[in-house]
Amino acid sequence: MATTALLTVIFIAYIGLGIPDSLLGSAWPAIYPEFNANVSDVSAVSLIISLGTIVSSFSSERVVKKLKTAPVMVLSTALTVIALLGYSFSKNMLWLCLFAVPQGLGAGSIDVALNNFVAKHFNASHMNFLHCFYGVGVALSPYLMSLFIKDGMRWRSGYRTMFYIQLSILVILILSLPLWKRFSSDEYDAEPANAEPVKFSVLFKNSAVRVQWLVFIGSCAIEAVCLVWGSTYLVNSKGVSPEYGAKLVTFYFAGVTIGRFLSGFAVKKLPCEKVVFAGQGITLAAILILLLTRNTFLATVGLFLVGFGNGPLFPNMTQLTVKYFDNSISQSIIGTQMGFAYMSIMLSPIIFGLLSKKFGVGFFPYYLGVCFMLMLGATLLLEKRVKNKN
């Protein structure tokens, strides 16, 4: 019972991790006209969020070792609560950039800590369900935001509503702290107290680690561009209204959630590697749909399938880290994976924003295609190197 309760708390924490991530992209079509900003200015806010997350990810091993997993989870969620409330009162771009800082810092360490904790102490099915609950968070927030945007473009009320939801999650996590004390031995800690952090230079010398970084970079680039630009793509390229675009992009997040949920059952029968390749096949088909259609409905289906196919890659690749590499360095490797993942999340929307100025937002599916080829090539190379090693 205690283990089930602990897993439930972790899943709730992951809902909270997902809530802020999709809000900016869904609300942006309503925000930038009010602030007299350019459509591409969203990249500046995204950059700050990602920089904070990268710093938090790369420092996560030391932070988790010092504070332990549960306090990191609570403190990180508290930072995102502050960010959501701050966004709701923002008057200009400067305010958005200011509150992007706590959002970014609140995302990295909790992600690394919970991923490593679940990868070590639970199975691949639990890992997929963990990331499925992240999908619940990223799907819930844009849907609710779309309701407020429809009602007089009241995006501030949307942010405030998500603040109250995130605050409720924070209260649950605080109340769960006594539960974590029952799992405070080295068996359940993220790392034994005497474990030394592995230097980045040591990890960099491992070619399989480097290739796996590329897998995360490609997959997260797809995710980040859909998160930040999916709604704007539907509005600018398909001619839908901002509130309708925010509502339609919810199908992408639903795809992520459903994909990870079904993957949680699939890994009980199939190796994680096969689930990853099956998802990549679906992602390729989805990108082709986006490339070939001008129809809004089919474009929405394509976005759904991008999320459905690409969504399971992150949890399964994280789980495979424990399988591919020595258990003693898993925390270090996962920390760097998250760091490079968030570098990709930071840079890919910015790069697309620059390209959109020249080629238009309609370049969206072509950009996804380039990111996919990087991910697929790195996945195939990783499989080859792991097999040669064994």
The DSSP-derived string for 21-72 is TTHHHHHHHHHHHHTT--GGGHHHHHHHHHHHHHHHHHTHHHHHHHH-HHHH
Residues 287 and 293: their CA atoms lie apart, in Å, by 10
- CA 66 to the chain's CA centroid: 25
Q: Which two tokens stand for residue 115?
A: 């991923």
The string of pLDDT tens digits covering residues 115-156 is 878 877 788 888 888 888 887 887 788 888 888 887 666 889
Q: Give the closest residue to 163 by CA, choosing from 139, 146, 135, 141.
A: 141
Share of the chain above pLDDT 70, in %: 93
The string of pLDDT tens digits covering residues 19-69 is 888 788 788 888 888 888 887 788 788 888 888 888 888 787 778 778 888
* Dihedral of alpha carbons 200, 20, 156, 139, sign: positive
The reported pLDDT for the residue numbered 190 is 44
In this structure, which amino acid lies at residue 185? S
- At residue 170 the predicted structure's pLDDT band, cuts being 50, 70 and 90, is very high
The string of pLDDT tens digits covering residues 228-252 is 788 888 888 887 777 777 778 778 8
* Average pLDDT for the chain: 85
Cα-based angle 106, 110, 113 (whole degrees, multiple of 5):
155
- Judge: domain 2-176+202-389, CATH 1.20.1250.20: yes
* Residue 134, CA distances (Å) to 29, 99, 200, 303, 322 in order: 24, 21, 28, 18, 21
The string of pLDDT tens digits covering residues 329-378 is 776 788 788 889 888 988 888 899 889 888 888 899 999 999 999 999 99
Residues 208 and 386: their CA atoms lie apart, in Å, by 7
Residue 188 pLDDT exceeds 80: no
